[in-house]
Amino acid sequence: MDDAQITHTYSSSTESGSPADDSDNSQLLIGESLIPVRERKHAGTTVVTIDGLLKEPLRLKEDLKQGCGGQLWPAGLLLSRYMLEEHATDLVGKTIVELGAGGGLVGLAVARGCQTDKPIYITDQEPMMQLMQDNISLNDLSTKVKPALLDWGTPSPAEIPEHPEIVLAADCVYFEPAFPLLISTLQGLLGSDTICYFCFKRRRRADLRCIKMIKKLFNVTEINRFSTCEGYNRENLFLYKIQSRQKSKE
């Protein structure tokens, strides 16, 4: 990742609904290709190439006013990198939905850098809708990417596929009361042929309980593609492939 182009704020707030580490390392400065430098930052636009994988960079508006999804997070950057490196050519014909998309980084990166031919739905709660729309427009991706309101634990909106072939979720485990809601959404959305690529950042011990529950209810395979990356371990990032227990094919 182009360090010169990427600087991000990482909230150390402990208010409910904002990711914050157990440890006091949430304001550490980290310079590494996978993990952006952390420093305080005002709302603005960030240019992202995902380690140069995107020939045409994404421009992403970041603004924390409406919530923690208004900034880029390492899990989203890692999941984007994984999708661009491993799934650039095998998503044709697949329906794709991103959960807890925030500003839409992962879905937009897939739309820009992977071959796709169906709309990619980036979803989040109401306060994130405008930012998602702004980022879609900023990158001229409105024919490929659609924003949708999907509040975990509530029925999916009619416009998104009932059981998409691909579900993307980055950094959606950070707020304990939302764990059962997220799990319930995964249960509803993952059909027998759905693969969910799920990038998890472990911050607190409670986060592991969510993963444990997911492992109990679904088939979960860890993707070790990045496990030797220094930033991956330092940031406590884990990448999983999650499938329904009734999956019919690999």
Ligand X SMILES: C[S@@+](CC[C@H](N)C(=O)[O-])C[C@H]1O[C@@H](n2cnc3c(N)ncnc32)[C@H](O)[C@@H]1O
- 161 scored as a contact of ligand X (CB under 6 A): no
213 exposed, middle or buried (CB, 10 Å; 0-12, 13-18, 19+)? middle
Cα 129 from Cα 147, distance rounded (Å):
7
Whether residue 67 is annotated as binding a ligand: the answer is no
> Segment contacting ligand X (CB under 6 A): 113-121, 155-163, 173-181, 189-197?
173-181
Residue whose Cβ sits closest to ligand X: 69
Nearer to ligand X, 39 or 92 (CB): 39
Give how many residues touch ligand X by CB under 6 A: 23
Cα 88 from Cα 243, distance rounded (Å):
20
Q: What is the largest CA-CA distance in the chain?
A: 47
- 25 scored as a contact of ligand X (CB under 6 A): no
Nearer to ligand X, 181 or 193 (CB): 181
Whether residue 124 is annotated as binding a ligand: the answer is yes
Phi and psi torsions of 223, nearest 5°: -95, 115
DSSP class of 68: G
- 68 scored as a contact of ligand X (CB under 6 A): yes
Task: Return the residue of 76, 107, 113, 231 that touches ligand X, per CB under 6 A.
Answer: 76
From 138, 77, 68, select the one nearest 100 (Cα to Cα): 68
Cα 109 from Cα 49, distance rounded (Å):
9
Nearer to ligand X, 132 or 195 (CB): 132
- 125 scored as a contact of ligand X (CB under 6 A): yes
Cα 10 from Cα 152, distance rounded (Å):
24
Binding site for ligand X (CB under 6 A): 19, 67-69, 72-73, 75-76, 100-102, 105, 124-125, 128, 151-152, 170-172, 174, 178, 181
